[in-house]
Structure 1
Amino acid sequence: MYKVKIVLLMLLTVLLISCGNSDNNGGKGTEIKKTAKIRVGYMPDFSGTSAAAIALEKGFFEEENLDVLLVRFLDGPSEIDAMLLNNLEFAYIGHGAHTLAIEGKVNVLFPNSLSKSEQIIARVASQINTVSDLRGKTVGTQFGTSSEILLNLALKTLGINRDELNIVNMDGPTIVSSISNKKIDVAVVQAPYTFNILKSLGNEVKTIANTIDYSDAGAFPSSWIVTPEYQANNPDIVNRFSRAILKAMNYRTENMDEAVEIVAKQNNTDTNAVNLEKETAVWLSGYDIKNAYLDGTASKWYKSQQNIFIYTKAITNSVDINNYVQIKYMNDNIFNK
């Protein structure tokens, strides 16, 4: 009788443990994921904050058993330096820092957005309706910036030589004052200067082109990154982080006004300012990224980004996109699951 009681007690214990595991995992009975502590680099603007802040605020990190500390940075190279020193596990980077990914220092997991910050804004009185109308006009832009790249892409697409325009090199504030004072016909500039021009001049100006119009020739993606070493040693955590951020991107797309509030709260900034920032890019959802990775569109984005870097001499040689953009990895481990 004593032995029978022991056996029954053991069976009851096993049953309770089994039920406990099932309840904690949606009834699937799968192994509970161990909580992982990670540090995530972000930047204090809508682009650099939104996905990570949403994932934290809405519990998407918690759902993946990730204990996340958001660490604020002002530029991508500083984030990558911290990652290489093992002081940061994941990070958001803007367009420029992708040169370091091309060099092999970090891997790109997936894009966050495509910039449309750069715009070609024309005075209505100058009778400019399309890029073709720029011939003979005075255009203000800052040499060496992404805005000048937009201008070059627009002219190249139509076979227009720069010599056919009067292009003046000036900084952002000077561009704003020059178009306001009618010293230039066209401003080719990026945010926040675009906001200043459009708000102050209203119906006197109009945008005739932006970066997205030329994304096939030159895209400006921002991205989420990880070091090759960390990815190789911690694939499960990389997968969990990716799922949380992609879910946050879906939430951002479906709840843009709330996303603005979450960003303003995280960065202790005014919601009106953040509202302006949300107009500076095409905000990709997790579904957008899945489709872009599966149909090859993402490869074109990153290839055209490389072309821009070669044009500006930020890099000298083209590199196979698959060397650093984790398209196959994401397809195999996230999107085709």
Structure 2
Amino acid sequence: MKKSLKISFSILLIFVLIIPLAACGSSDLQKVKIGEVTRSIFYAPQYVAIEKGFFEEEGLDIELTTTAGGDKTMTALLSDSIDVALVGSETSIYVAAQGANDPVINFAQLTQTDGTFLVSREKIDNFSWEMLEGSTFLGQRKGGMPQMAGEFTLKKHGIDPHNDLNLIQNIDFANIAPSFSSGTGEFVQLFEPTASVFEKEGIGHIVASFGVESGHLPYTTFMTKDSYMEENNEIVKKFTRAIYKAQQWVDSHSAKEIAEAISGYFEDTDTEIIEMAVDRYKSQGSFATDPILDAEEWDNLQNIMDEAGELPKRIDYEELVNTEFAEGVME
């Protein structure tokens, strides 16, 4: 009986000692809530940063939420539901143009090209952009970066998107792919992995890349409110360093290795499809290899917005972009 009591007491003592230590270890990590505008293979470096422990190495505990759409992502950031937003830089311009007292600052770029592809319902061996004339084109949401980059590309090839084809852009982002698969449109603008899934299933065929056509721009960037940046300077620096580590890892590893690392974020997608999508993005330079958003990219972004008639006013690069953290972690 005494022996039994001694064993029980020993076990209890172990728990008493271990639990506070575990709690202490957990509390050492500083929580950062990220809101991503959508779940996409396009954001592979972000998932790598989480899965490879780069955030944890910096003492950060990441809580990732998918906020569907740029407007919802910005609302979550402005209302403090999230600390950092991963969304197109155009949203920070929209907020600034409305006269925000606490502007949203871009501090770490993740992707540097458009991430969409042109998918044709019919297989086309020798595609040319003129083939879109007179067709029904299922585009992206008006005012969003995918749609603006899409219109920019069409105009670049001499196509007026509002007069030379039947442009559909009033369908919610989540319903664009289902609408095409159910028979709407002859062409559609899609992100990965949906584009590759459609191709594998024979629903459509990838014929061109809007990322290649529209050039470098701050397509998806980590941003936060100016007040959060001032109050959490060290956290933003650690966050940026973790992203830079992930960017370097993605740049130096194969599409297969990257696909294996991020597959848990796309449980309903075959690893083979993920690998194909990653390879497409890597081969066209969509993943930024460092977190610096440069002035030339910022100008290209505003030119594309202006071309689409969606630029409320030009905002100086220095007003909404802070490269201090990115430059610091790269030294």
Mapped partners of 1:57, 1:45: distance in 2:
15
Secondary structure in 2 aligned to 1:223?
strand
> Quick check: 1:198 aligned with 2:199?
yes
Mapped partners of 2:51, 2:137: distance in 1:
42
Aligned to 1:326: 322
| 2:302 aligned to which of 282, 299, 306 | 306
Question: 1:258 and 1:77, CA in 2 relative to 1: closer, same or farther beyond 3 A?
Answer: farther
Q: CA deviation at 1:37?
A: 0.8
> Quick check: 1:37 aligned with 2:30?
yes
Aligned length: 284
Question: 1:212 and 1:124, CA in 2 relative to 1: closer, same or farther beyond 3 A?
Answer: same
Give a deviation string over 1:48-90, Cα, whole Å, max 9, x none. 76434433332322332x1313231323544444444445333
Give the conservation status (yes or no) of the 8 Å contact 1:122–1:207. Answer: no
- Partner amino acid for 1:198? E
Aligned to 2:56: 62
Question: 1:160 and 1:111, CA in 2 relative to 1: closer, same or farther beyond 3 A?
Answer: same
Which consecutive unaligned segments of at least 5 residues does structure 2 have?
A: 1-26
| 2:65 aligned to which of 65, 72, 81 | 72
Question: 1:259 and 1:221, CA in 2 relative to 1: closer, same or farther beyond 3 A?
Answer: same
Give the conservation status (yes or no) of the 8 Å contact 2:49–2:55. Answer: yes
Aligned to 2:20: none
| 2:239 aligned to which of 231, 238, 241 | 241
Secondary structure in 2 aligned to 1:108?
strand
Q: CA deviation at 1:111?
A: 1.3
Aligned to 1:138: 135
Aligned to 1:13: none
Secondary structure in 1 aligned to 2:67?
coil
Aligned to 2:152: 153
Aligned to 1:129: 127
Give the conservation status (yes or no) of the 8 Å contact 1:42–1:49. Answer: no
Question: Given the two structures, how large is their TM-score scaled by the length of structure 2?
Answer: 0.67
Secondary structure in 2 aligned to 1:45?
coil
Give the conservation status (yes or no) of the 8 Å contact 1:38–1:89. Answer: no
- Partner amino acid for 2:56? E
Question: 1:53 and 1:138, CA in 2 relative to 1: closer, same or farther beyond 3 A?
Answer: closer
* Matched ranges for 1:200-215 at <5 A: 200-201=201-202, 205=205, 207-215=207-215
Mapped partners of 1:88, 1:56: distance in 2:
17
Mapped partners of 1:199, 1:325: distance in 2:
40
Mapped partners of 1:59, 1:266: distance in 2:
15
Over the matched positions of the two proteins, sequence identity in percent amounts to 14
Aligned to 1:252: 250
- Partner amino acid for 2:287? L
Mapped partners of 1:152, 1:165: distance in 2:
12
Give the conservation status (yes or no) of the 8 Å contact 2:195–2:206. Answer: no
Aligned to 2:13: none
**Higher CA-based Rg:** 1
> Quick check: 1:284 aligned with 2:287?
yes
Secondary structure in 2 aligned to 1:118?
strand
Q: CA deviation at 1:283?
A: 4.2
- Partner amino acid for 2:200? K
